[in-house]
Amino acid sequence: PEKMVWAHNGIGNLGITGTFDRKQLQRGFQVYREVCSACHSINRVAFRDLAALGFSEAEIKAIAVSYDIPSIDDAGEPTTRKGTPADKFPLVYPNEAAARAAQNGAYPPDLSLMTKAREDGTNYVHSLLLGYRDEVPKTLTAPEGLYYNPWFHSAFIAMPPPLAADEQVTYADGTKGTRAQYAADVSTFLTWTAEPKLEARKSTGVAAVIYLLILTALGYLSYKKVWADVK
């Protein structure tokens, strides 16, 4: 996939340092909510996890109650109740069979861990979203009902192009809505869902390396001192 520069890849886009851009995560969540959530769940994420994106407790409560969570009523019958911050984002379909029945036989996977499940996942999701092409190469024949997208493993994907036009989503923060912006923002958001502790992992790693370097220097200096008299 195309190598993009991501804030969470830090200095030199090397991936050693880096922090998420909170505003971008919020925009990515908006794209997920308004577009992707029609078909894909993020069932590993709890509403209260959104605090890490900078949402307030009241905002999180409002998001949670807008979702119906499967539940059981007093008579033991399945029902739904309003979401609370402790709930996870619900599944879109109760199970895979129901999803395939509604999606022409295709299965829209849960996106929580997608950027980890695919190699170079953030760039992959970004390229996939922008990678639909109208012209199918002459050597290939498009199967009925599938879309040509060279980034997908089989080149033909059942997902209709989800980011079809600029201004499809009106950003709450006033950022101009373009397909490129939506793709970058939602890919960043899905990187966070897959690795919410990315920032802590990186800062701990950098601190550990600095600590080990100092320890090595001290070790070397004491070695010099201890053996100074031995010729």
Instruction: Give least dist CB 150 to ligand HEM, A.
Output: 12
Q: Which CB atom, from 35 or from 50, has the smaller least distance to ligand HEM?
A: 35
Of the candidate spans 4-12, 31-39, 80-88, 209-217, the one that interacts with ligand HEM by CB under 6 A turns out to be 31-39
Among 45, 50, 130, 163, binds ligand HEM (CB under 6 A): 163
Element (H, E) at 50: none
* Closest listed residue to residue 29, CA positions, set 203, 221, 182: 182
Instruction: Give least dist CB 3 to ligand HEM, A.
Output: 18
Q: How far apart are CA 85 and CA 69, in angstroms?
A: 11
| Under rule CB under 6 A, residue 103 binds ligand HEM | yes
Q: What residue ranges in 15-94 does DSSP mark as E strands?
A: 68-72, 78-82
| Under rule CB under 6 A, residue 169 binds ligand HEM | no
| Under rule CB under 6 A, residue 45 binds ligand HEM | no
| Under rule CB under 6 A, residue 157 binds ligand HEM | yes
Q: How far apart are CA 176 and CA 170, in angstroms?
A: 8
Place of tokens 């080149």: 155
Q: How far apart are CA 2 and CA 229, in angstroms?
A: 59
Contact status, residue 22 vs residue 138, Cβ threshold 8 Å: no
| Under rule CB under 6 A, residue 130 binds ligand HEM | no
| Under rule CB under 6 A, residue 39 binds ligand HEM | yes
| Under rule CB under 6 A, residue 114 binds ligand HEM | yes
Q: How far apart are CA 176 and CA 200, in angstroms?
A: 31
What region does 120 belong to: left with phi over 0, alpha with psi -120 to 50, or beta? left
| Under rule CB under 6 A, residue 42 binds ligand HEM | no
Which residues contact ligand HEM by CB under 6 A? Answer: 31, 35-36, 38-40, 103, 106-109, 111, 114, 118, 125, 128-129, 157-160, 162-163, 186
